[in-house]
Amino acid sequence: MSIEMQTTYGRIEISNDVIATIAGGAAVDCYGIVGMASKNQIKDGLSEILRKENFSKGVIVREEDGEVHIDMYIIVSYGIKISEVAHNVQTKVKYTLDKTLGLAVKSINIYIQGVRVTNL
């Protein structure tokens, strides 16, 4: 599945994996984020940190009624206010996708998969 945009020069088709990789990269740059987690590990109770090439496993891109919705599964650092981290991720991902792809995102849902103690 992909997102299609029509411009004056023609049609642009952007893969969901590309959108997920850009969104995941923007998210892990935020303060308080340890990494991305896979959406499938909810059942197992394990939250493994994904590498950059696997960000699409932790980000779901949906298009409903012409609007783009993103679900992100993240792991946060211990001792950080989770609501602030989630808000920062939403803001940064929305800004990055708008500036990089010209893609307006309707909603970004954040799912916290775990809390990790990081060595500073």
* Collapsed DSSP state (helix, strand, coil) of residue 67: strand
How far apart CA 22 and CA 52 sit, in angstroms, is: 10
**Cα-trace Rg, the chain:** 15
| pLDDT tens string 39-64 | 766 454 445 566 665 667 789 999 88
For residue 113, pLDDT over 90 is answered with no
Helices (H), 1-118: 16-28, 82-101
- Give the per-residue pLDDT at 96: 95
% of the chain residues with pLDDT over 90: 40
Count of C-beta atoms within a 10 Å radius of residue 54: 15
CATH class of 2-116: alpha beta
Mean pLDDT value across the chain:
84
Q: Is the pTM of this model over 0.85?
A: no
Tokens standing for residue 8: 């004056």
Q: Domain extents for the chain?
A: 2-116
pLDDT above 80: residue 7? yes
**Residue 118: band (very low, low, confident or very high) from pLDDT cuts 50, 70, 90:** low
pLDDT value for 5? 82
> At 84, is the pLDDT very low, low, confident or very high (cuts 50, 70, 90)?
very high
Instruction: Return the pLDDT at 114.
Output: 84
Q: Which pLDDT does position 98 carry in this prediction?
A: 93
